[in-house]
Each structure stands twice: as structure tokens, then as C-alpha cells.
Structure 1
């Protein structure tokens, strides 16, 4: 089988397409023929050795995909050969076939396309866990989303609006904000031009924001945190800006703020039943047309440098997919 392979740490140019033996399912496993693999910002980090997950070399990047079950190992249950499924793994989905625990697979409804399903697991899974399980977002609350046009940001805009929140999308250009608005944002902040803290204060009528969803970090974290209302919740999603901010803890004390870490990967391992319920909910919403699962672009496997470059430059407006 063909696979995108990282044999030395570095950038997209250091990757190569290789031919590997087809995997064989072990006990409880399924082999899935991958149709589309979704790329995420963390893939640019994992191939550089800068992510918390550090696979042994060589490895294939990619943490999610859509494909068809081709074979089952002894004792594998929950899916059948021929089922179309979504796959989640710490790495390895940028290959034509992957062996994964069958219990972690979710069947894709007929009305959900491969493109929608391929990028649903991580970005929307992370976001639903963040908003529902961690922040316990309630209808009528205000939700400020930083990086609102990227993969997780756009998911937060959509899910926040679907859950009844007033969504304030924050991004660095008018084009990105227009995309967020088309996916349910009620108000917009261009933090490339406007002062983020002042804009959020103005849009909240001076009351403050109930929930901040932050996958960016860097210089935007503290002004966003300062914008929270009494007992506001600040969701730490990631650090796409590259810098992990140092937050003055007195800010949390003054307003009774909760700073909540969102480690979706550990949630999946520790609370598999809750994860499966979230997956079913997301697929149902897409099947009903209530979530778009926006795709930025689909690339052939051979164009992996271009695809990863979109994420490195933070140009993605939705999911970036590789077709295998």
C-alpha cells in the first residue's frame, strides 16, 4: 500500500510517499481502506517533533479519515466488512490502509459524504467536548471564538450557534470573518485591525463574555481572558500562534473565572462511552443538514506539501483533506 511517511523530523518537504506492507488486523481490530484523510494543524507539529505525541520513526501522519472496513480481527465487534466509517488515531491515517480498534469506529450515515465525515472526528469532536462537556454552554450565553475560520474555530462557530449561543467570531481578515458569518456567527471582530479586548467589551455591552474558545494562544490569550464576565469560562484548545501564553492567575481570582483545559485525546481514552455519544450526535447533525463540516480543499496524496503548507500558513478555512 501507499503511505505518506515521516522518516526524519522536519517540514512537509522532508516527507515522502512510500510503499509499505498491508496491515493485518489483530484481535479486536479492523483494517480500514482509507478514502480521505484529514489533516490538522498538529500534523505540522508532529512531523517536526514539536507535538506531545512523538511516534517512533518512521510513521505516517494524519489523525482522522473516512474509509471502508476491509477486514476484521478475532473478536472485533461493532462494525462489519463493507461498512463506511470514520477513523480516529493518534497518527497513521495518511496511508491507504490502517488497522485500528474496531470499537472506536463509527458508521457513517448514507446522507453524509466522505468529505464531511473525514474531518468530523477531531475538530468537531474536540469542540463538542469543549462546549458541552467542559464549558457546559447554555442557550443565550455569549461565545467568543478566536481563529474562527480554521478547522476547530469554524466548528466552534457552527456548534455554538447550533447550541443556542450568541457567537462572536474573531479572526484576522474580512474574508475569514465572512466565512464565519456564513456558518452562523452573529457578530464579528477583526483582531488584525481592532483591539480584541475593547471589541469584546463593546459587543457584550460591558458585561463581558461567558465563554472564550481559544485555539490560538499567543498575544490574543490575555486580552480574551480579560474580556470574560463573572464566572466566565476560558477554554484552552491549543496554541496555533506558536507561543504558550503566561496568564496572570489573579485574573481568574478577580472574576471567579474557570480556565479549562480541553485535551480531547485523553477524553477519548478515559471516557469512551461519552466520546461515542458525541460522535453519534455529530453525525446525526450532519445528516440532518444542521452542520456543514466545511471543507477547505481536497488534494491528491502526491500534493501533501501544498496541503500541509495551507495549515502551516494558517490559511485553511475548513478542513484540508488528502485523497488516497
Structure 2
């Protein structure tokens, strides 16, 4: 039923072109003009850059579940209509404001914004840009900000994961799940148990570095993890699913284990049994990654710089599952909501 509803809400993209006015060079952007309706591709007039801002020619934009939620009106932060979804991008600097000192025209950059990124051009504050190292492609770079920023923040900053510990990752074949596996195994030298909803997704997670996997569509996640990790349990859980999967993962934690709540892709928010936290000295913590940009920018910026550094060094390698053109943005959303996506889904603007 959910698929039928989504097809009704997001059919083939409606292309809307506004006539070019005079000599102003317009650019294309995906616009949400009405909630739960198809995105439109429209020609948008550029605005001047302010002194501290940078105009970027966008090459790739990441697709995140938050983009879909905000277009449904179900995200925790509401946007005023019309708006452009998209939280991350890679591209080339076109123009800089008079007070910009961090980048210059022609620089390759990644950037983050509070949506508005699914467009051929993007204007952002210079603080929201990081230069792409020479060995990292535009395509790889676009997969880093949200997924790998979240993974690094969850594992390093929140859970303080140590070498040799065991990490349980739910939705392990998704962009964030694979990023967590990549960082945990290749950077932090931890052991990963990947949990996903199909054999195909479990196999991908193992190919990408997980030492073991659990298909939680076949039975109890808790029992399966106990068979793999022993009665002691796992040290860290990074959960993006919520609901019953969260509760089973919570019960899989060892003494002084840590569980990081990243999202609720399953649609259900579970209640935490406080007695379990007490009995096992467990720490349950949340990670709203985007809020660090406003609340603790140095930590946010460090996660971005670390992701770029790890990628430059070859210690991590983003997995790109699918790439769609801008005019196929509704197909990209459908690809994600039907749970067909594995790894990062990108929009190509070139």
C-alpha cells in the first residue's frame, strides 16, 4: 500500500520551464511546491552572493531519507513552500563574496546546507564548505557529508568506540550503515556485525567489511547476535531503524555498552526500558548530526575534515548504489522508499 501511495504522490517528474528573462542566466532546481506531490524541475533566477557567501556549480547531490520526509511534511524541521530538498553536494566554486577567504574560484568543494542542494547552483556560507583533496572524485565526495559525517560522529564522538570492540549496525546496507561499517573496521579497527532485512543486503555489508551479518527479517535479532557475539553481547550499537529492531539491539548490548540512535527509518519510535540501562550500565544516546553545525561547529567541521582525510588516505571508500539525473529525482525518491537502495544514492547535475 505504501508503494502505491508513493507512486501516486511521486510519479514521473513534471518538468516546468520558466522562460529566461533578459540576459540573466537561470539554473535548474528540484522544487517541492506542494507536500506529498511530485517535485518539479524549474528554472530559477540566481541571486547575488553576500560578502561571506560562495556560489558553487554543483556536480552531485546526495539523496537522504530526510529529503523524502521533508517533502512529505514529516521531518522535524518544516520548510516554507516552495523549497528545494537536498542537504549535501559536491562541485566547483564559481564566485566568492568580498569577505570570503577560505576558498577561491575553481576550487573543488563539498558543502552542506539546511536543504536547498538539489540544484545546478548553490549559494552557501563559506563555513559550510570544505575543499576536496586531489585523490577524491566529485562523486565520492558527494557521498561523504551526511553518511560518513554521521558515522564518524556516532562512532568516535558519541560512542567513543575503541579498537577491538564489537559494533552492531542496523540497516547495514544503507548509506549510513555502510559508512559506519567502513569507519568502524577500516579506521577504528573494530569488529562489525551487520544487521539488514535481506540476504542480498547482508552479503553486501560483509563484502564491505563486516565480519558477520544477521538477516532480521528471518527471526530474532537478539538471538542471532547472541550466537555471534556470545552472551556478553556487543559493545556499541548504531541504530537507524527504531521500533522493535532498536529494542532487540538494546538487549544485545554488553556491560557498559553504548547505543546511538541515529534515526527511525522503520517508522516507529521505541520507548527505552530504563531498568535495562541501570542493570547493565548501558548508555543510550541520540545523534542529530545536522544540529552540530549550529550547536558545536568545531566538532561538526572535524567530522567533515576527517571524512575527507580518511577518503584521501584510502582508508574508507564510499559505496555508490545508484545515480539519477536531476529530472529523475522522483524516481530516486521512489528507489529509496521501496527499500531498493543499497549504499549512497546520488543526483547527478552534469
Cα displacement (A) at 1:307: 0.6
Q: Does 1:16 align with 2:23?
A: no
Q: Does 1:3 align with 2:29?
A: yes
Matches within 5 A, 1:1-324: 1-11=27-37, 14-162=38-186, 163-324=188-349
Within 2, Cα distance between the matches of 1:37 and 1:21? 20
**Unpaired segments ≥5 residues, structure 2:** 1-26
SS in 1 for 2:103: coil
Cα displacement (A) at 1:49: 0.7
How many residues get paired?
322
Kept after mapping to 1: 8 A contact 2:113/2:128: no
Within 2, Cα distance between the matches of 1:108 and 1:3? 23
Residue matched to 2:13:
none
Residue matched to 2:7:
none
Within 2, Cα distance between the matches of 1:165 and 1:9? 42
Within 2, Cα distance between the matches of 1:86 and 1:23? 21
Structure whose CA Rg is larger = 2
Within 1, Cα distance between the matches of 2:34 and 2:240? 27
Kept after mapping to 2: 8 A contact 1:23/1:97: no
Cα displacement (A) at 1:277: 2.1
Kept after mapping to 1: 8 A contact 2:167/2:191: yes
Residues 230-255 of structure 1, C-alpha deviations (whole Å, 9 max, x = no match): 11101000000011112222111111
Kept after mapping to 1: 8 A contact 2:240/2:263: yes
SS in 1 for 2:119: coil
Cα displacement (A) at 1:90: 1.3
Moved over 4 A (4+): none
Cα displacement (A) at 1:268: 2.0
Within 2, Cα distance between the matches of 1:154 and 1:316? 12
Question: What's the Cα RMSD here?
Answer: 1.1
**Unpaired segments ≥5 residues, structure 1:** none
Within 1, Cα distance between the matches of 2:46 and 2:328? 22
SS in 1 for 2:72: coil
Cα displacement (A) at 1:121: 0.2
Within 2, Cα distance between the matches of 1:150 and 1:7? 28
Kept after mapping to 2: 8 A contact 1:23/1:31: no
Within 2, Cα distance between the matches of 1:243 and 1:250? 21
